[in-house]
């Protein structure tokens, strides 16, 4: 038995020292190197697909109280939130997936509490919700850019914990992922975007502002991870300097977490034998 990726990536409780977490690590990767990744992804695809379909089926059978899954993706620019969505989340049936990206809040969003827009984007029973950024921006960029005063952002850790505890209580399996990219690798990836006209659209001059505050973001991430790392809504740290590992690890984590739901297939709510007989009579 190999150790579950969920255990290998799980952030231990207590204070967080991001500098001790290696962005190039390949924890739990069962292959020898990058060359084995495509085969491993191909093996994982039907497993993930099957488990998600069970969840989707549960939602059809019980639209009120089937489980829900919420995967939260956080990380600095170029850490690969989009890549995980394309390559790992993309292995699942899009019918059962609800993806939401959170940008700087609109005027309407700003007129509400910070959790308002989050609440509206939650997955329904049977769905896998994916957040590309999340409520955590309200203790990250908001803190670094001093968009609200300190007392306000500090109070949000408890608010977030209470919010997530309520979601878990109501049947949402929460998977929070910090995609851990290094400063050096971010520099390379931003330069690639500037070297390649096909990637200009991904580049935003504002990314350099965030990059220039790297240490402040690391501190903000360390506190967010440490203060909001609960049993019901744990953080997983995915090393993100190697895209092939990052994508495999995210897919494997999703597959393992879906397995925890332990879902069978909903039983027929009709008489199968009778339906067969009726159908046969039409053929």
Stretch of 52-60, 73-81, 121-129, 150-158 lying at the interface with Mg ion (CB under 5 A): 73-81
For residue 270, give Cα distances in angstroms to 118, 139, 162, 264: 38, 50, 41, 18
- How many CB atoms neighbour CB 275 within 10 A? 11
* Residue with Cβ nearer ligand AMP (61 or 102): 102
* Residue with Cβ nearer Mg ion (31 or 105): 105
Return the DSSP state at 125. Answer: T
Minimum distance from residue 55 beta carbon to Mg ion (Å): 30
Q: What SS3 state is found at 73? A: strand
The Cα 93–Cα 90 span in angstroms is 8
Minimum distance from residue 104 beta carbon to ligand AMP (Å): 4
Residue window 198-227: x/- pattern of binding to Mg ion, with contact defined by CB under 5 A: ------------------------------
* Residue with Cβ nearer ligand AMP (116 or 265): 116
- # residues contacting Mg ion (CB under 5 A): 1
Please give the residue whose beta carbon sits closest to ligand AMP in the complex: 137
Burial of 247 (0-12, 13-18, 19+ CB in 10 A): buried
* Residue with Cβ nearer ligand AMP (133 or 185): 133
Stretch of 32-40, 77-85, 97-105, 272-280 lying at the interface with Mg ion (CB under 5 A): 77-85
Q: Contact between 132 and Mg ion (CB under 5 A)? A: no
> Residues near 98 by Cβ (< 8 Å), separated by ≥ 6?
121, 123, 124, 127, 128, 129, 130
Terminal CA-to-CA distance of the chain, rounded, Å?
A: 49
Stretch of 3-11, 74-82, 151-159, 213-221 lying at the interface with Mg ion (CB under 5 A): 74-82
Residue from 23, 25, 77, 256 in contact with Mg ion (CB under 5 A): 77
Minimum distance from residue 135 beta carbon to ligand AMP (Å): 8
Q: Quick one: what does residue 189 bind among ligand AMP, Mg ion, none, with the CB cut-off 5 to 8 Å set by partner type?
A: none
User: Which segments of the chain does DSSP mark as H helices, in order?
Assistant: 5-9, 37-61, 81-87, 107-110, 116-119, 141-144, 150-169, 183-195, 206-212, 214-227, 243-260, 272-280
DSSP letters, 87-112, are HTGGGS-GGGEEEEE--SPPHHHHTS
Minimum distance from residue 46 beta carbon to Mg ion (Å): 32
User: Which residues of the chain form contacts with ligand AMP (CB under 6 A)?
Assistant: 77, 102-105, 133, 137-138, 141-142
Q: Quick one: what does residue 4 bind among Mg ion, ligand AMP, none, with the CB cut-off 5 to 8 Å set by partner type?
A: none
Return residues touching Mg ion (CB under 5 A): 77
């Amino acid at each position: 038995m190999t150790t579950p990726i969920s255990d290998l990536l799980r952030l231990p409780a207590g204070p967080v020292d991001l500098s001790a977490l290696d962005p190039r690590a390949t924890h739990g990767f069962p292959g020898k190197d990058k060359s084995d990744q495509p085969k491993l992804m191909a093996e994982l695809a039907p497993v993930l697909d099957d488990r998600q379909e069970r969840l989707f089926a549960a939602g059809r059978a019980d639209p009120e109280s089937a489980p829900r899954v919420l995967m939260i993706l956080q990380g600095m620019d170029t850490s690969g939130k989009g890549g995980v969505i394309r390559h790992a989340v993309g292995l699942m049936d899009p019918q059962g997936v609800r993806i939401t990206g959170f940008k700087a809040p609109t005027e309407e969003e700003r007129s509400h509490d910070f959790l308002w827009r989050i609440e509206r984007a939650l997955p329904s029973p049977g769905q896998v919700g994916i957040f590309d950024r999340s409520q955590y921006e309200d203790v990250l960029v908001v803190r670094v850019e001093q968009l609200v005063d300190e007392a306000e952002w500090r109070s949000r850790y408890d608010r977030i914990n209470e919010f997530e505890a309520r979601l878990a209580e109501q049947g949402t399996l929460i998977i929070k992922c910090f995609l851990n990219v290094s400063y050096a690798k971010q520099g390379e990836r931003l330069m690639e975007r500037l070297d390649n006209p096909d990637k200009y659209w991904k580049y935003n001059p504002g990314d350099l502002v965030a990059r220039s505050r790297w240490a402040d973001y690391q501190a903000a991430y360390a506190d967010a991870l440490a203060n909001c790392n609960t049993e019901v809504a744990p953080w997983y740290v995915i090393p993100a300097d190697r895209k092939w590992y990052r994508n495999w690890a995210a897919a494997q984590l999703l597959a393992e977490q879906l397995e925890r739901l332990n879902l069978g297939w909903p039983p027929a709510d009709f008489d199968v034998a009778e339906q067969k007989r009726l159908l046969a009579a039409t053929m």
